[in-house]
Structure 1
Amino acid sequence: MTKPAITLPLLFILLTLIDISSCASTVFNVVSFGAKPDGATDSTAAFLKAWQGACASAASATVVVPTGTFLLKAVTFRGPCKSRLQFQVTGTVVAPTDYRAFGNSGSWILFANVNKISLVGGTFDARASGFWSCRKSGQNCPPGVRSISFNSVNDVIISGVKSMNSQVTHVTVNRCTNVVIRNVRLVAPGNSPNTDGFDIQSSTGITLTGSTIQTGDDCVAIGPGTRNFLISKLACGPGHGVSIGSLGKELKEDGVENVTVSSSVFTGTQNGVRIKSWARPSTGFVKNVFFQDLIMKNVENPIIIDQNYCPSHQGCPTEPSGVKISQVTYKNIQGTSATQQAMKLMCSKSNPCTGITLQDIKLTFNKVTPATSLCSNALGTSLGVIQPTSCLNR
């Protein structure tokens, strides 16, 4: 099987090799526009003024957020802009403590319709404990906001950023191309609801490397329309692992293809690597996926395909999933499972999984009881030593 090429335009790759700080020649410091580094004064207007100045600059420009703590309400940094921009954060950006201040805005910090943008450094603290308490109590709560979002943004670098205590997803990438994410840390308590690390959808040419995600939901959620996505050197846990899906929620839905997850460690997560789809008709698909060189440490479901996904277990759809899963390779995956069933491949009855490859798998449960596997409608090949014993059908 040939490994898919994860390609980015040559020019963009060359740009990422250059010290990005040297690209900016014009500086717009938010303090010069009235921002106060006291953590209490609303600095939203000052941030927007600095952005507007940088966006209008004919030369490459940098928005600087210096040392200190800056209070920021819901804000959209919108393009198109005239030149390459860098958003350089040394200090800490905090959200209002009252979660109701966001209303139904959907995002705390949104970058939209911008090309050639770098977000470098800094800590972003959404201070969402009040929102989580509201959700857990069953009250009538707002839907929550994503901490940092990129919508219709191209040629992006996200580097050295720390996001803490998001209401829901930490970082969303939607309808973007050529995105490099490196050395990022996303942190929320393991019991915080729906706090995905990264949500990626309808995007092409994404590289995520050298990052740590500790959160209450998926470390990385890969949604419909995602292509050419490379994840490497990821430390995930606590959380729900790396998930392709959920897919098949809509009848007409784009697929996911050319995804590689490699050289990563999962610690105490609910899942390791997962593909999940609803059990209903769909035009969606998953193909050309490589999970390789992974370590599982006390993971509940190290390897799982679930085409009967229904987290609430109420009103679940009962038709076979229309999402077609093919050409998925699991290679050199080792470690410990927190449950006896270490490998579970439950595929669609009407669209069986095909081209599944298991190679050099060693997953153990405990010293006394061996790990087991369970397959349904999963067709493929086993190579090398497979532990637990392969349940694939040829």
Structure 2
Amino acid sequence: MSVLSFAAISQKLSLSRRLFLGGSLAATALPAAARAQEAAPSANLGARQLPARTLPVPSTVSEGLQAVIAEPYPPGWNALPADAAAWKSLAVKSAAGAAPAIAAIRQHFGLTVEQTKMGGVPVFVITPQEIAPENRDRLFVHLHGGGYVLFPGEAGAGEGMLMAGYGRCKVVSIDYRMAPDFPYPAALDDVMAVWGVLLAAYNPRKMAIFGTSAGGALTLAAILRAKAEGLALPGAIAPGSPVADLTWSGDSIMANAFVDNALVSRRSWANAAGALYAGQNDPRDPMISPIFGDFTGFPPAILTSGTRDLLLSDTVRAHRKLRKAGVPAALQVLEGQSHAQYLSPFLPETEDAFDEIMQFFNKHLA
């Protein structure tokens, strides 16, 4: 299916295609306290006032990606639900908004998707028409994004389907429990329950764990948890644009504010969603914000972000911390892309990103 046909499908929806990538709609204005929180860093010593400027769409990317970069901010990006019922309504809308993309990816690659349970946790087992010879004994475990609140059910499996299609590999996508009903540690508990089941059936050195945004943070947190519990680690991981720091302290949070056209700024729903997930727990807990954990002994890792990504700093900081811990780690930063836009289906840049990840896996997996 072409990019144009995919865009035509998406334009018929009441939700933006960016809902599939991590944007959202909401109904309530952001509280004044949150607006003040974003403004506060400007009072820091040495803070720099920037002149207003027009940011052009780069000519250095494909025409399909140029169209994605040119899109306006998601409707309601700086609004957030007023209560638990509104958050759950938003999750339902996110699934509806992702549905056409999910169907298009499945059809494009001819994937078989089976819903089942492992360790009592719902999962989607994704199998391409042909598995590459080097991947026949391997398994790739996917942890979806969406701020720990969005993309329930098959809606969360899109990235896993892209990996199965581009990488010609078998993928298990975990439909973990989410806030507001199930804040931390429910999602991580579910990931570990599935990991325990898979360890009984597969050689861990032939498995990889990957995911983007909240899924990237969960990937890192799962390794910290497995280390703490003495469990075998996967042969490699691929955390994409991880929400590695729920204190939202990285430089790009401010430097790429209003440059990123997916998350836009720290005033977005994603900040509130992270707080909802953390609940009463310290956001600096490494199992919640893995950037504060010990990365010693981590498996080889490839991290992905974009030059306009609001969470570029989280990705860069995690990469440097892995390197300092002596972990083989690669970093790909994609031209012009905002948060998680390398998940835009069928663009050449998307295929390149997944090819790079698969090359890394081929190098490090048994």
How would you bin the TM-score normalised by the shorter chain?
A: under 0.3
1 or 2, which has the higher strand percentage? 1
Q: Which of these two proteins has the greater Rg computed from alpha carbons?
A: 1
User: Which structure has more RCO (C-alpha within 8 Å, separation ≥ 6)?
Assistant: 2
TM-score, L = length of structure 1 = 0.25
1 or 2, which has the higher helix percentage? 2
TM-score, L = length of structure 2 = 0.26
